[in-house]
Amino acid sequence: MAGAMASPELPSFEDLDVDNRRVLVRVDFNVPLRGQGDAREVTDDTRIRAALPTLRALIERDARLIVCSHLGRPKGKVVDDLSMGPVAGRLSELLERPIRLPDEVVGDGVTKLVNDTRAGEIVLLENLRFEPGEEANDPEFAKALAKLCDAYVNDAFGASHRAHASVVGVPGLVRAHAPGLLMAAELDALGRLVDNIARPFVAVVGGAKVSDKLGVLVALTERLQADDAIVIGGAMANTFLLARGSVLGGSRVERALLAECKRVFAKAAARDVRVILPVDLRCGAALDSDDAQVVAVADGVPDDALALDIGPRSEANFASVISAGKTVFWNGPMGVFENPVFAAGTMAVAAAVADCGGYTLVGGGDSVAALNASGRADDINHISTGGGASLEFVEGRELPGVTALASSN
Ligand SMILES: Nc1ncnc2c1ncn2[C@@H]1O[C@H](COP(=O)(O)OP(=O)(O)OP(=O)(O)O)[C@@H](O)[C@H]1O
Ligand SMILES: O=C(O)[C@H](O)COP(=O)(O)O
């Protein structure tokens, strides 16, 4: 896309000296889970599989591996249901090796465990976001992580838009650092898309992280041209519909963002960019409702109901816009697809993206899980492990995690 940032020159993974050294690998294992307590399981392991080439290469090169990731948003506190236990289990199955999981992120026990780790052995740290210093990019927490290693590899493309301690703090402190193979592959694939964009460009956005992604959407709109389109579903659409004066009942909306939604409408109108919103919604009494009622947006959502998916007329409208796209980027499910009653809109969009003849890119933990569930993943040109990260990349923003690898080299 015109004006997009080029990726900076990065050090090489192959040149990094890892032989018998403690290598801290930041990955994005923020994967969808189901169940509670000991019954928790990973429902989509795409992000874990995507990091395997880097981990296997390091094992072959006799590195002593310390793997770390965030999982969900525990906000600096220990939340048992967000422990890395199920992730360690799945990683161990995939690598066919034992994984050691200490019960904390940093501390004396972790230091001892890491120092006792031999070449080819793997420690997975507890959820980085159990520590308040991670999201605050606290220098002391970054130092504690840096002390655990001799070299640092960032393979967490999906978290590279977060200026957090494990993403930007550690590479500033550990001289021997490099992007992992997944990070390099993502930057290459997305860079090529952004440099040679075929139009019309259709951005399909949904999901629940409205406040995170709305600013990016405003900026993205400024880069679009006449006949490009932004298609909006999921909880994201609720706030846009409210900004247009629709009645949303008990649906998830973010009133503080109404002005921002209006900016998207104004910028899009000024550039002849189409903003496509749902015209009908599937509603229920709760996220786990076992039946859905289709409501026309013009009639409004009843007070005791929540919009949990786009409706059938919206599916058809969205599919028709997507099918005309020469480049289609999709991030964020159209509804609460984890409940089969509210999965139809997301599945319809997955099929439309897969069937469109243009270049297709799908990103995001839940979006890729939904795409996998639809059985159409093989029909997509590039599946990115990054949701917010790929959206920011496509919008042309510099990703702090990538800049940190380049500048502190
Ligand atoms: N109408 C809705 N109301 C409530 N939740 C919704 C609605 N539509 C979608 N969701 C929820 O949004 C979540 C996914 O949104 P999210 O923005 O995290 O997407 P993602 O693909 O994982 O991207 P990222 O990788 O950036 O997190 C799903 O858990 C889904 O249930
Ligand atoms: O799922 C994602 O997009 C990444 O893991 C980042 O997660 P976050 O939005 O909670 O920072």
**What is the structure's pLDDT at 348?**
98
Residues 26 and 171 occupy one common structural domain: yes
143 and 256, same domain (yes or no):
no
Q: How far is the CA of 328 from the centre of ligand 2 (A)?
A: 21
Closest ligand 2 atom, CA of 47?
A: 5
Cα–Cα distance for residue pair 349/354, rounded to 1 Å: 8
What DSSP string describes 362-382?
EESHHHHHHHHHHT-GGG-SE
* Domain identity same for 285 and 315: yes
Answer positive or negative: Cα dihedral of 86, 88, 92, 97: negative
Taking residues 84-103, report their average pLDDT: 97
Give the domain range for residue 221.
Answer: 199-357
For the cut 50, the answer to whether the pLDDT of residue 137 exceeds it is: yes
pLDDT tens readout for residues 173-207: 999 999 999 999 999 999 878 888 899 999 999 99
The residue type found at 223 is R
Q: What is the pLDDT of residue 193?
A: 80
Tens of pLDDT along 24-46? 999 999 999 999 988 999 999 99
- Residues 159 and 230 both lie in one domain: no
* Average pLDDT for 214-238: 94
Residue ranges for the known binding site for substrate are 28-30, 47, 70-73, 129, 162
Examine residue 368 and state whether it is found in any structural domain, yes or no: no
Asked if pLDDT for residue 246 goes beyond 60, the answer is: yes
Task: Give residue-wise pLDDT tens across range 349-361.
Answer: 999 999 999 999 9
> What token pair was written down for 45?
């392991």
Closest listed ligand to the CA of 207: 1
Q: Among all chains, which residue has been given the structure tokens 């080819």?
A: 120
Beta pairing class for 64-68 and 274-276: unpaired
From CA 173, how far away is CA 186, in angstroms rounded? Answer: 24
ipTM here? 0.95
Closest CA to 302 of 310, 311, 291, 293: 293
In a domain, 8, yes or no: no
Average the pLDDT over 215-227 and give the result: 92
Instruction: Residue 267: name the closest of 333, 214, 220 by CA.
Output: 220
Mean pLDDT across the stretch 260-273? 96
Q: Determine, yes or no, domain membership for 212.
A: yes
Number of domains in the chain: 2
One domain, residues 88 and 215: no
Q: What is the pLDDT of residue 7?
A: 67
pLDDT of residue 377: 96
> Tell me, what's the pLDDT at 374?
96
Quick check: is 282 in a domain? yes
Q: Work out which ligand 1 atom sits closest to the CA atom of 368.
A: 21
Annotated binding site for ATP: 213, 338, 364-367
Ligand 1 in contact with 32 (CB < 6 A)?
no
pLDDT grade for 288, boundaries at 50, 70 and 90: very high
Question: Ligand 2 — pocket residues by CB below 6 A?
Answer: 28, 30, 73, 158-159, 162, 209, 212, 365, 387-388
149: its two tokens: 């290693």
Cα separation of 98 and 279, whole Å? 51
CATH number for the domain that contains residue 320: 3.40.50.1260
Q: For residue 200, say if its preceding peptide bond is cis, omega within 30 degrees of 0.
A: yes
| Range 51-58 average pLDDT | 98
Looking at the structure, tell me whether residues 351 and 244 fall in a common domain. Answer: yes
The verdict on residue 11 lying in a domain is no
**In this structure, is residue 383 part of a structural domain?**
no
* Residue 219 sits in the same domain as residue 339: yes
Same domain, 214 and 307: yes
- pLDDT for 75 equals 97
Residue 180's closest CA among 158, 153, 149, 146?
A: 153
Write the pLDDT tens digit of every residue in 208-220: 999 989 988 998 9
What is the average per-residue pLDDT within 67-88? 97
Whether the pLDDT of residue 86 is over 90: the answer is: yes
Asked whether the predicted pLDDT for residue 12 surpasses 90, the reply is: yes
Query: Which pLDDT band, with edges at 50, 70 and 90, does 407 fall under?
Result: low
> Which ligand lies nearest to the CA atom of residue 214 in the structure?
1
Going from the Cα of 70 to the center of ligand 2, the distance in angstroms, rounded, reads 8
Query: What pLDDT does residue 2 have?
Result: 42
The percent of residues above 70 in pLDDT, for the chain, comes to: 98
pTM of the model: 0.91
Residue 323's pLDDT is: 98
Residue 303 lies in a domain: yes
Same domain? For 29 and 158 the reply is: yes
Q: Say if residue 282 is in the same domain as residue 168.
A: no
Which residues are marked as active site?
47, 209, 365, 388
Instruction: Examine the pLDDT at 6 and tell me if it is beyond 70.
Output: no
Q: What is the pLDDT of residue 8?
A: 77
Neighbours of 351 (CB within 10 A): 17
Cα–Cα dist 22/62, whole Å = 10
Neighbouring C-beta atoms of residue 269, cutoff 10 Å: 12
Do residue 177 and residue 205 come from a single domain? no
Asked whether 294 and 311 are in contact (CB, 8 A), the reply is yes
- Strands (DSSP E) along 239-358, which ranges? 274-276, 280-284, 293-296, 306-310, 327-331
Same domain, 31 and 178: yes
DSSP labels, 23-50: EEEE------EESSGGG-EES--HHHHH
